[in-house]
Chains A and B, each alone.
Chain A
Amino acid sequence: MNTGRPATRSARADLSLEELRRLAFDLRIRDLQMIHGAGIGHTGGDLSAMDILTVLYFRVLDVDPSNPMDPGRDRFVMSKGHCSGALYTTLAHVGFFPKDELASYMKPMSRLNGHPDRTKVPGVETNTGPLGHGLPVALGMALGARLQKQAWRTFVLTGDGELQEGSNWEAAMNAAQHGLDNLTLIVDRNRFQQGDAVANTVELDPLADKFTAFGWAVREIDGHDFEALASVLGRTPAEVGKPTAIIAHTHKGCGVSFMEDQAGWHHRVPSDEELERAIRELTERRDAHVA
């Protein structure tokens, strides 16, 4: 669906893919510092989602941090609300609130709660935390846009373990029933949930087949490949007349070697020494890459 407007009204819309890639490393560093400062957070899932969020907010979403409630804005629903750290870091860098405020993450009376609160944080569309809430709400948004013949789009990011919640499949059936091609689901397919690998818990594969069977247009991408993210997220719907499911294959803890693909880093907080190592690694990786 073409909104007839520039793809984003973000102040940083001019960033190249290489600049976005570097930015995502900086956002990871800021996020880890924030979690370290708070002494609490969801480290692994924040890092797996960061590239997706970076591309969404700096390339894809038509949102205006100076007018966060603009009725014509694209809607983004962070269904994996426990990864509020990644969301807040991104929102602050887009300009929805001052970056300095990130230091208050989960501190007493901070508006940056462990799970996002739309009544307090500009840019948050719905309060999430319990899993399986985002897609049904996003469904309602997409139905509302279509009923009012409005061109804005709805994007929702879920975890993969989260898809074990039945509410997602209720909403998936409904989205297909209505042929909602203004709705895009991105699955952060990092293959881990809180306690174990998804495959050792309740496996979701064949996930693409499931969404196809539910009537969705499905695309699978490397969720850390900026070319792929920009190209697939930037060209929705994948098929006219169908909702789009983008399965983004990611790594939990992506960017820090000792956190990657480790279920233990789901909500572990880095020690002083681990933070230092992580920042060193992230900085090296950021600077090593030649576009």
Chain B
Amino acid sequence: MLHDCREAFAETLEALASERDDIVAVANDSIGSSKLGGFRGSFPDRLFNVGIAEQTLVGTGAGLANAGLVPFVSSASCFLTARALEQIKADVAYSNTNVKLIGMSSGMAYGALGPTHHSIEDFAWLRAIANLVVVAPADPEETRQAVRAAAEFHGPIFLRISRMGVPDVHGPDYRFQIGKASVLREGTDVTLIANGVMAHKALEAADRLAGRGLEARVLNMATVRPIDREAIVAAARETGRIVTAEEHTVFGGLGSAVAEVVVQEAPVPMRMVGVPGEFAPTGEPEFLFEHFGLTSDNIAEKAEELARIHA
């Protein structure tokens, strides 16, 4: 069964708002797309809809935090991170305000609406900013826990929430921690590192590889910044090969973040699965994922290639 993680976000935020008076939401005409209809019904005076005005969306969040509230600023990730990038940098990260930025419908989920609506640069833009935590949950369980962790964490944090259907990759015993990768599968021949909607594809790739005699470790690297250096170094030392997979450009995203650690601390051969440096053609998300090789087959192929070349 596939889940839309926005639902997990919305139900958790509503639960938090019932528990805590200081939780508020800020939207930019994005109540429907952020699934905030229920929040508005239950807490109408705690939802601020600034209209189609992203700079004010983020600035208002910073001001609400200054007033002692905990704002969840929710908008399509493409507009939130690109249009309001300077507000994210100055008003939130540099000012160290307790703002929770929620980038909705990230990656290529908007499909045929085209590259204006795709958000495949947000990791690169945001992880370059100091004092900003960047998290991309993989499934509803991790989304629920990440939303709660964001509320408890005192400081700036960005959550990247997809609208694309994903299966569960974590059980109820899973405990999300900011900055910690989760091991979805143990293995010693290669490590597949993914997050968000690519995590389950990495797991599928590992299944495929097992049938061909390669035991793959699968790491869900939900937190892109600060990245779990320890897990990456262990993966490099213990498996000798790394393949990353992300719904993001390969310029500056998860693969780059992993490579920065690998080349400095434990150099091993790597491959990166992601969007190459080009704007997407027209097509639905499934088509675009195939087009750019964001598939379990391609992840498995890259792992086999590494095993072949670096036997």
Contacts and interface: CB of A to CB of B under 8 A. Distances in A.
A171 B53 CA distance: 8
Contacts of B50: 170, 174
Nearest to B73: A140
Contacts of A127: 90-91, 94-95
B56 interface: yes
A135 B50 CA distance: 13
A81 to B, nearest CB: 9
Given A127-B90, A140-B63, A174 B95 contact: no
Given A139-B60, A170-B53, A145 B67 contact: yes
B196 interface: no
A30 interface: no
Contacts of B91: 126-127, 133, 136-137
Given A141-B66, A143-B60, A174-B50, A133 B90 contact: yes
A167 B63 contact: no
Interface stretch (A117-125, A212-220, A238-246, A275-283): A117-125
Interface string B255-296: 000000000000000000000000000000000000000000
Given A141-B63, A143-B63, A174 B51 contact: yes
Contacts, number: 109
Contacts of B24: 144, 147
B64 A140 contact: yes
Q: Chain B interface secondary structure, helix, strand, loop or mixed?
A: helix
Contacts of A166: 55
Given A127-B90, A144-B69, A174 B62 contact: no
B51 A137 contact: no
Nearest to A81: B90
B185 interface: no
A167 B59 contact: yes
B45 interface: yes
Contact of A140 (B51, B66, B90): B66
Contacts of A150: 67
A154 to B, nearest CB: 8
Nearest to B89: A130
A130 B64 contact: no
Which of B51, B59, B64, B69 has its CB near the most chain A CB atoms (within 10 A)?
B59
B87 interface: yes
A142 B64 CA distance: 8
A154 B53 CA distance: 21
Nearest to B94: A127
B64 A133 contact: no
Contacts of A145: 67
B96 interface: yes
A144 B67 contact: yes
Interface string A164-175: 001100110110
B60 A137 contact: yes
A264 to B, nearest CB: 28
Contact of B66 (A128, A132, A144, A173): A144
Given A128-B90, A147-B46, A174 B63 contact: no
B79 interface: no
Given A141-B67, A170-B55, A136 B87 contact: yes
Interface of A: 71, 75, 117-119, 125-130, 132-133, 135-145, 147-148, 150, 154, 166-167, 170-171, 173-174
24 contacts: A71-B68, A118-B95, A127-B94, A132-B55, A133-B59, A136-B56, A136-B59, A136-B91, A139-B56, A139-B63, A140-B60, A140-B61, A140-B62, A140-B63, A141-B63, A141-B67, A142-B63, A143-B67, A144-B66, A144-B67, A171-B53, A173-B51, A173-B53, A174-B51
